[in-house]
Amino acid sequence: MAASCVHLALLLLCLMIPAIIASPRSPRKSPADDAAAPTPPSASRPTTFFEVGRPLRPPPGSSGRCSTLLLSASFGGAQLDRVFGVWFGGVELLRGSTAAPPPEGIVWSVSKEVTKYASLLAAAGDSTLAVYLGNLVNSTLTGVYHANVTLHLYFRRTSPSPPPHAMAQADLIVPMSRALPLNDGLWYEIHGATDVASARVALPSNTYRAALELYVSSHGDDESWYINTPGYHNGPFREVTVRVDGDLAGVAWPFPVIYVGGIDPHLWRPIAAIGSFSLPTYDVELTPLLGKLLDGKPHTFAFAVTNAMDVWYVDANLHLWLDPVGTTATTAGIVSYVAPAAANTTSSKSGDPVDTHYDTTATRHFSATGWVNSKSYGNVTTNATQTFAFENTKTFETLSQTTVVHAGVVAMDHAAGVLYYSVQTQRSFPLGWLYEQGRLTVTHGLDDTTVAAGRWWSGPKNRSLRTSQSSVVEDEESFGVRQTYRYVADDGCYFRNVTSSNYNIVSEHNDEVCGKGESLDGVGVVAAANLP
């Protein structure tokens, strides 16, 4: 039996988890007392909040759910949005923000595909499931959060096949997070621009590929870093850096997540801002640097946030692929390494204080190439590149910001002329707002395109996701949201267009039809929602 697909669903019913809730049960055993939580009584019907995304379904040929883990209770009261995290064996599986419930309560859910953690979920022995949702309850904020966490495991019989390679799920996942017991999240806390969090890890000697998965979120004084002007709270530019033994190994330029209480809470009711319920993660390819990591000694992995204010939550999962031929040591070396500092420029145009323009730009390039020689796959040379561009223009009434990220990984045997895999990804994060005559319009988007090829690549060769959102609030009385979501790939398509006015959904269309020559051209930032 082999795990083919795993989904993690977090159902939050205006809820509470004041601290860590941990379960040491094995994920392969279904507890007899795991039953659906009863729906708590309510004086009025709660509002359903949601984030637009693609539905997750059981894979073809699977035999269904075999294990469920539940955390549940009742609900009620007014409350603010809160950050939550879910960890299994110290490895973070999901991070997000709750909705901001009104007194009558709310209901919402978030699902995430977690098949990439298959080796962790299938590991022998017991592991601890930890869920943290910090909350404050007083005479004003009376809301108590309750959550169900459900882990769906799908299985199917598989015929004997060659050993998995670098495009399959990792053989080992090493957490880089704080250890239990804690009355807090397992993430590291970055309290300022000079603060550094670190973990020491020794890699197995038969590692032939390594990639770091970063979980990052901003809070407190830096929750809305993207709206800063130069000179205020260190400006609007942020960068998360990863260093190995002091040397830069890669960076992440974060997506500007807007929590449901951000800017103006009416902007995200009932359609939550992009990425707020399930925050995006960021991958850093470490394979080219294995030449300095396979000596059997612990190495220091350090995380920092450029220009950070208090506070950022950062942790990471180290995904490792191991040579299946016993524990035969692999050999590795670094061919090239280019890591200049980020170029950051700031300027402001003088004028009337209301009309002053502030401009901030930044660029960054990183590249590393290294070879790994393993008994199973021979000598494979991997090149990893990252290229970034950032531009932010702000006035008193307007904001226009765009972040463009390109990441590429190419692995090949140069002697044999064999391309094992090439994955090129480009992501763009547009953000803007316009305030005039009591009306605030915020536009928000995420464009994500991947092109892949190679002997080892078995997923879609072309995949594009474009989602855009326009939210309007007028005189704090009328508000509306419109969002389009379009996913196009070799393995299927999904489209959804939904519009709300106040708390009501006034129009919705979705389908899974791939048109001939389907492309994403012309799907940009949507028009403002129709207000009553």
Q: Could you tell me the CA-to-CA distances from 206 to 172, 333, 334, 352, 372 in Å, in that order? A: 12, 14, 17, 63, 10
**115 within 8 A of 76, measured Cβ to Cβ:** no
Q: Could you tell me the CA-to-CA distances from 46 to 83, 141, 143, 412 in Å, in that order? A: 21, 17, 13, 55
What would the mean pLDDT of 416-421 be, rounded to a whole number?
A: 95
Count CB atoms within 10 A of the CB of residue 136.
11
Count CB atoms within 10 A of the CB of residue 54.
19
Q: What is the model's pLDDT at position 145?
A: 81
Classify residue 437 as exposed, middle or buried by CB count within 10 Å of its CB (0-12, 13-18, 19+). Answer: exposed
Q: Which residues of 401-416 are buried (b: 16+ CB within 10 A; e: fewer)?
A: bebbbbbbbbbbbeee
Closest CA to 288 of 342, 338, 214: 338
For residue 427, the one-letter residue type is R
Alpha-helix runs per DSSP H in 27-84: none
Position 51 in a domain? yes
pLDDT of residue 482 exceeding 50, the answer is: yes
Task: Assign 357 a pLDDT band (cuts: 50, 70, 90).
Answer: confident
Q: How far apart are CA 354 and CA 351, in angstroms?
A: 8
Of 65-79, 98-112, 361-375, minimum mean pLDDT range:
65-79
Position 7 in a domain? yes
What would the mean pLDDT of 73-84 be, rounded to a whole number?
A: 70
Q: What is the model's pLDDT at position 136?
A: 85
Position 129 in a domain? yes
Position 236 in a domain? no
* Secondary element (H or E) of residue 421: strand 418-436
Task: Report cis status (omega within 30 of 0) of the bond before 270.
Answer: yes
Classify 6 as helix, strand or coil. strand
Rg over alpha carbons for the chain, rounded to the nearest Å, is 23
Q: What is the model's pLDDT at position 362?
A: 96
Do strands 418-436 and 207-218 pair parallel, antiparallel, or not at all (unpaired)?
A: unpaired
Q: How far apart are CA 55 and CA 496, in angstroms?
A: 11
Closest CA to 456 of 167, 210, 169: 167
Position 68 in a domain? yes
pLDDT of residue 195 exceeding 80, the answer is: yes
Closest CA to 10 of 389, 287, 238, 278: 278
Q: What residues make up the domain containing 10?
A: 1-161
**266 within 8 A of 479, measured Cβ to Cβ:** yes
Position 34 in a domain? yes
**288 within 8 A of 382, measured Cβ to Cβ:** yes
In this structure, what are the phi and psi dihedrals at residue 516, rounded to the nearest 5 degrees? -65, 125
User: Any idea what the Cα angle at residue 340 is, between residues 335 and 345, rounded to 5°?
Assistant: 160
pLDDT in tens, 438-475: 999 999 999 999 999 999 998 899 999 999 999 999 98
Classify 115 as helix, strand or coil. helix
Task: Assign 39 a pLDDT band (cuts: 50, 70, 90).
Answer: very low
Position 434 in a domain? no
pTM for the predicted model, two decimal places: 0.89
The residues pairing with 10 across neighbouring beta strands, listed in sequence order, are: 110, 149
Share of the chain above pLDDT 90, in %: 59
What would the mean pLDDT of 32-42 be, rounded to a whole number?
A: 34
For CA atoms 410, 412, 417, 420, the dihedral sign is: negative
pLDDT in tens, 277-292: 999 999 999 999 999 9
**99 within 8 A of 81, measured Cβ to Cβ:** yes
pLDDT in tens, 205-260: 999 999 999 999 999 999 999 999 988 999 999 999 999 999 999 999 999 999 98
Q: How far apart are CA 277 and CA 246, in angstroms?
A: 34
pLDDT of residue 163 exceeding 60, the answer is: no
Q: How far apart are CA 225 and CA 95, in angstroms?
A: 19
Task: Assign 531 a pLDDT band (cuts: 50, 70, 90).
Answer: very low
Token pair 């592991």 in the structure block, residue: 127
Of residues 190 and 153, more confidence is placed in: 190
**87 within 8 A of 177, measured Cβ to Cβ:** yes
Q: How far apart are CA 393 and CA 430, in angstroms?
A: 12
Q: How far apart are CA 315 and CA 303, in angstroms?
A: 8
Token pair 């090829």 in the structure block, residue: 453
42 Cβ partners below 8 Å, 6+ apart?
Answer: 75, 76, 104, 105
Position 79 in a domain? yes
DSSP secondary structure code for residue 119 in this structure: H
Domain count, the chain: 1
